[in-house]
Chain A
Amino acid sequence: ETGVTQTPRHLVMGMTNKKSLKCEQHLGHNAMYWYKQSAKKPLELMFVYSLEERVENNSVPSRFSPECPNSSHLFLHLHTLQPEDSALYLCASSQIRSGGETQYFGPGTRLLVL
């Protein structure tokens, strides 16, 4: 595997389910990100992990819970979601040095909440 991978690619869940999205980066980077991409809305940054510590949490509802067990893996745990949470969830990684570095994105998980 190369680059940034995400599983599953598609997920359908009910509002009472619990599921997790997984992201893995094979680039040796030290920062990872979760973004939400909804139709007709700009990309929304949800969480940032730098050196496995969360450095940004953009007022995301608690039904989204991130986990970064090491520098290569990032999870997004989902529970009691709402239909408006249906979106494409993108993971990205970067190597932070002095700032302004490129982020590399995975293909995304298309989530549908029924």
Chain B
Amino acid sequence: GDSVTQMEGPVTLSEEAFLTINCTYTATGYPSLFWYVQYPGEGLQLLLKATKADDKGSNKGFEATYRKETTSFHLEKGSVQVSDSAVYFCALSDRKAAGNKLTFGGGTRVLVKP
């Protein structure tokens, strides 16, 4: 079945540091890939997505590129802020799965210190 693996946290950084969160996936079909973010006390928000190989999703300074050859979708940001402290989830959606089902990774907690 489909699965998503992402690096375990917590990841602790100083403000303006470079952030990378690794994500790899296993899928039988040709999935769409997503990064969701969950701020404290809130639900999940879509951060960015990519629907085909070599697509780059970007939003709020975050980027991730759909790498089919390495089955990866690593999240990067060049200069983090304290407000980026949150839990980040990598996910995939298999287009052939009934109901547009999402498969999530375990989440990576990021803490940015001033």
Q: Which residues of A contact B (CB under 8 A)?
A: 4, 6, 31, 33, 42-43, 45, 48-50, 55-56, 90, 92, 94, 96, 98-108
B45 to chain A, nearest CB (A): 7
Question: Which residues of the partner chain B approach A105 to less than 8 Å between Cβ atoms?
Answer: 36, 43-45
How many A-B contacts at CB < 8 Å in the complex?
69
Closest to B87 in A: A37
Majority secondary structure of chain A interface residues (helix, strand, loop or mixed):
strand
Q: A50-B98, A90-B43 are in contact. Are A43 and B51 (CB under 8 A)?
A: no
Bound CA–CA A28/B113 (angstroms): 40
CB pair A43 B31 closer than 8 Å: no
Query: Contacts A101-B93, A105-B45, A107-B42 given: A96-B32 contact, CB under 8 Å?
Result: no
Q: Convert B65-76 into 0s and 1s, putting 1 for each residue whose CB lies closer than 8 angstroms to a CB of A.
A: 000000000000
| A42 and B96 contact, CB distance less than 8 A | no
A88 and chain B: residue at smallest CB distance: B43
A66 to B: closest C-beta gap in Å: 13
A33 to B98 Cα, complex, angstroms: 12
Residues of B within 8 A of A102 (CB): 34, 46, 49
CA distance A32 to B94 in the complex (A): 16
- Check B104–A103 contact: CB distance below 8 A: no
